[in-house]
Structure formats: C-alpha cells, structure tokens
Structure 1
Amino acid sequence: MSATATPTPRTATAPASAATGAPRTRRRAAPGLRRAGLRVLALAVLLLAWQGAVWAELWPRVLVPSPGDVWEAVLRTSTVHDGVRGQSGHLLTEHLGASLRRIGIGTGYAVLAGVPLGLLIGTVRPLAVILEPAVSFLRTLPPLAYLSLLVIWFGIDESPKIWLLVIAACPPVAAATAAAVRTVPAQLLEAARALGATPANLLLAVRLPSALPEIMTGVRIATGIAYTSVVAAETVNGVPGIGGMIREAQRYNQTDVVVVGILAIGLSGVLIDSALRALERAAVPWRGRA
C-alpha cells in the first residue's frame, strides 16, 4: 500500500503565492506612482506658466528671471567662476549649511526648554497662571520685534541669531506640550494611581508618553517657525547663511540669486519636515491607533 501511495504535491502552493503576491505589490505601488506623477505634472505646469510669463514680458526680466536664469544662478552660486567663489565668498551649500546649523541649534535648545516648561504649565496650576501668559506673549511677537534688542545685548556674531531662533521656537513647543498634558485621559491617571504610581511616575510614565504625539507636532511647528525666522536672524552679519545670501543679492538686484535662496529654503524645509515625520512615526508608532 505504501509503495503505491500518491505523494502530496508540496510545491504546488508556491507559484500560487508568488502569483498573488505580485498583484498586491503592484496595488501598493500604484498610489505612490500616481502621487509622484501628479507632483511631476504640477511642477511641469508651474515651470511652463513661469516661462510663459517671461516670454510674454509681463514684467521686466530683472524682476522676474526665467527658469533658465535661475538654473544658471544655481550653477554660479555653487561653483568658483572667474575667480569668484559662489555668492559673497561662499558656495550655496555653505550658505545653506550655516543656516541649517543655526536652525538645528536654536530648535534643539527650544525643545530642551519648551518640553519641561510645557509639562510644568500643564501639571502645576499656580505656575500655569504665571508662565502661560508669558508664553502666549512671546508666541505672538514677530522675530524682527526683538532682533534689535538681541543685537544690543549680544552683538552681531552668532549669539543673537541663536537666541532669536530659540525665542521663536520655544513657545510653540511649550504650548503644544501643555495642551497635550492637560488632555491625558483621566482613566489612565486613575489606573496608574490605583497601581501605586507616584507623581513622578504619573508624569514620566503616563502623561509624557500620552502627550508625545502632540509634542512631536509642536516640534515640527517650531522647526518651521525657526526656519522662517532664520532669514530675519541673518539680516545682521548673516554671511555665510541663506538669509544673508538673499540679503546681499537683494542689494544688487540679483533677482535670480534671491529666487535660488527661496528655492533652497523651501526644498530643504520640505526635506526637514519629511525627516521629522519619519522620526514621529518611529517615536510614536501608536499615533492614530488609540
């Protein structure tokens, strides 16, 4: 009987699984390809409209350079040409790198100060009465309002620039942290107290993890505010720096270089925000699931 038994075909399911896996992969890739295609199409339409405005001479060429002029400015600011190094003696990457370093330092200090400040405002009511109005006051001030004061206090080197970015980025982090801590579900706190949690345990093991998604949102907002403030910070002795480069180009009506600076700020800002989104997904994997 055993000699005539028909063996069970074990490999028959492998082709079937492979066949079903390929359509699933294609289905997953299709939305991403469509999004990429729409973005490329939107960019192409924008460039064509821009070039069409230049061809139609709606504005003087010195005010609205063509995409080709801007590309030439990118090459000119990124290389050494006719013995001149980039723009204002520095390459475009050096200008951008200096600005990103200032943003990183300013936002880092803002997070280190803003998260504890928000925790205090959200958990200690007497301190909230004192500190919350101060945070709201700073949050409504435009950076240029206190730049001159910082220059008087700290001079024209790096210190006023870093302080300006810290003051601009700290209030959003503190406000987001305080609001998130206050909305922690009471059931979580009661359950932790029933298990014998101390106030420090409640703060570090319950309130902070629960508030972390909103804190990450506050960090993203603060980074964007710091980036928009860096141009103001670099109006005073801001070379190297992307804001200083734009300022120098504006003095000599180099509109193409100004556009290059704006594009560099926008593109690097998108990359930074994408990196923060990836960090948020890694640090807060439970967001949106509870």
Structure 2
Amino acid sequence: MPTAPTVPEPGSDHPPAASPPPRQRPRARVTRAMLRRAGLPFGSLLLSLAGWQVVAASGAWSETLVPPPAAVWDAFIDVSTAHDGVRGYNGTYLIEHLGISLRRIGIGAGIGIVAGLLFGLVMGTVGWMRSLFEPWITFLRTLPPLAYFSLLIVWLGINEEPKITLLAVAAFPPVAVSTTTAVTAVPQSLLEAARALGASRWDLVKDVIVPSALPETLTGIRLAVGVAYSSLVAAELVNGLPGIGGMVKDAANYNNTPVVIVGIAAIGLSGLVIDGLLLRLERAAVPWRGRA
C-alpha cells in the first residue's frame, strides 16, 4: 500500500517528509532496453533504404549502376520463385543457391578450423614445432585467396575440390594463430600447480590448457568463418553455379545489378546469423569471459 506522507508534529518547524519515489520495475527497464536494441538497427535500416531511394531517384547514375530498392525487391521475388517456366536464377532458387554455398563453407571452413585447432595446440605446447610452422602459417595468412585459387584449379580441377580447399586454406590461419597465442599465454602458475597435484601431460592439456585457451580460440573460429565468407565469391568464380557466389558472378557478367545486390544481401545476412550463433556459443562455453 502507498505510504502516507508524514504529518509534522504540532509546533515543529520541519516540513513534512516527502514520500520516496516508487522504484522503477526491473521488467520495464529490460523491456525498454530490448526495444532500444531492436529499434536502433531497424531505424538504421530505414534510413539506409531512404537514402538509397533518394540516390536512385536523383538520376545521377543509371539504374544499371544504382537500381532502386523496388527493382531489387522484384529481383528477389524472381530468384525466389518460378517464372516463365524457369526456377529462380539459372534453374535454381535463391535459397538453394545459398544452401549449396553454405554447405561448401561448412565443409571447407570446418576442415580449416579442425586443422587450425590441432596445429595451434601442438605449436603452443611444443616450441620447436612453433618455430617450424609459424612462418609458413603467417605467409599463408597474408595471401589473398585469388593469389592461389588459380593454382588450386590447376591441381584439383574445376569441380568442388578447389572450392572446398580454398575455403579450408582461408579458414586455417586465424584459428591456428589464435590457438597458438592462447596456449602460450596460459599462466605458468596454473601448469605448475597442476603438476604438483600429479597431473599428467594429457591432464594438463585437457584440464588446464584447453579451458584457458578456449576464449581466444572461439574468437579465432569466428574470424575464420568470416574469412571463409569473404572468400566465398572467389571460391565460386569458376563453375560456381549453383551457388550464391556463382550467382553473383554470373549476374555481374550480364550487368544484372539487382540480382548482384540480392546475392550480396543473402551472403551478408546469412553471415550475420551464423556469427550471432557463434557468439551465443561463445557466451555459453565461456560464461566467465569479461567477468573475471
């Protein structure tokens, strides 16, 4: 029940004490924070669409270069449905193009991530292995994907093998470097304490090194997936249809800018979703990060 204001005693010079303001409900604060987090990206999207429409309607560039949002929407409907007896783009729906590319990324980046984890763990625990392989990994990390994609085509042909290999090679260095750095940064006091308690070498790796290195390793995995996404169009330059990167490349050959924008948007949005899932995994696996 609300607290009644204090009535001063007769003859007292003190004014009545004001009632304390009601405390804000935590649920209301959480609701406003959620609305703010959702409203800011939505407002940014609306402003971007409005600016895009203004630029397209100004006539400064032709519609081939800057198509209006309505033309891109029409292209999205076309590549997502059947029209004139043709399924989507080049006989394949947009979702199918995206699914095929995601499968390539999953296989290629998965191979690169597993290899990076193993190499990083070995290089972080064995000094001479780090001296042997670290220069090669750094050399590989500095190469753009197109620099060696032609060589992969010569070696592996034009089917799936060079695409998967390119994505694996692109995803490998970030995980290897981050895992190596994290393993070498494990406090020696933890290792010495575990040895004093009788831990074997395998126990050190399993119970001390891996948990300590896990936060930085997960960050490296997120970076590796991002690098694989940025290499997708390069991986599908040759014989990339069906595939979202191949669709973008083929549409660009015919100046079909709306389809190019649809493909780029599909790659970016799917990348945001996957990065969000990886971020949730990171928070679940290492909930202590940022709190200790």
Q: With the length of structure 1 as denominator, give the TM-score of the two structures.
A: 0.91
1:289 Cα offset (Å): 2.4
Change (3 A) 1:22 1:96: farther
Count of residues in Structure 1 that have an aligned counterpart in Structure 2: 272
For the residue of structure 1 that corresponds to 2:241, the secondary structure is coil
Partner of 2:82: 80
Tell me the alpha carbon deviations over residues 143-187 of structure 1, each in whole angstroms, 9 at most, x when there is no partner.
Answer: 111111111111111010000000010010000000000111122
- 2:245 alignment partner, one of 238, 243, 246: 243
Query: Conserved in 2, the CA contact under 8 Å of 1:88 and 1:248?
Result: no
2:141 to 122, 134, 139: 139
1:165 match: 167
2:35, 2:187 → 1: CA distance? 40
Deviations 1:4-30 (A, max 9, x none): xxxxxxxx9xxxxxxx99921111121
1:224 pairs with one of 219, 223, 226 = 226
1:3 equivalent in structure 2? none
What is aligned with 2:8? none
Question: Residues of 2 paired with 1:168 and 1:49: CA distance?
Answer: 35
Greater displacement, 25-34 / 130-139: 25-34
Per-residue Cα deviation, 1:23-70 (whole angstroms, up to 9, x for no partner): 211111211211211111111111111000111111111110000000
1:267 CA drift (Å):
0.6
Counterpart for residue 288 of structure 1: 290
Aligned-partner Cα distance in 1 for 2:134–2:80? 45
Gaps of 5+ in 1: 1-11, 13-19
Which of 232, 256, 269 does residue 258 from structure 2 map onto? 256
Structure 2: distance between partners of 1:35 and 1:265: 23
**Deviation string, structure 1 residues 86-143 (Cα, Å, up to 9, x no partner):** 1111110011001111111111111211111001111111111110001101100111
Select the residue among 145, 150, 155 that pairs with 1:148.
Answer: 150
Aligned to 1:201: 203
Q: Which moved more, 1:241-250 or 1:280-289?
A: 280-289
SS of corresponding position for 1:240: coil
Trace 1:62-101 onto structure 2 (pairs within 5 A). 62-101=64-103
By how many angstroms is 1:250 displaced? Answer: 0.8
- Residue 15 of structure 2: aligned partner: none
Paired with 1:110 and 1:204, the residues of 2 have a C-alpha distance of: 22
Q: What does residue 111 of structure 1 align with?
A: 113
Give TM-score, length-normalised by structure 2: 0.91
Q: Which residue of 1 aligns with 2:191?
A: 189
3-state DSSP class of the match of 2:25? helix
SS at match of 2:242: coil
Superposed CA RMSD in Å reads: 1.4
What amino acid does structure 1 have at the position aligned with 2:40? L
Runs of 5+ consecutive residues of structure 2 not aligned to the other structure = 2-21
2:30 maps to which residue?
28
Q: Distance in 1 between matches of 2:30 and 2:37?
A: 12
**TM superposition outliers: structure 1 runs of 4+ over 4 Å:** none
Instruction: State the AA in 2 paired with 1:191.
Output: A
In the alignment, what sits opposite 2:63? 61
Q: Which amino acid aligns with 2:164?
A: I
- Partners of 2:192 and 2:183 in 1: how far apart? 15
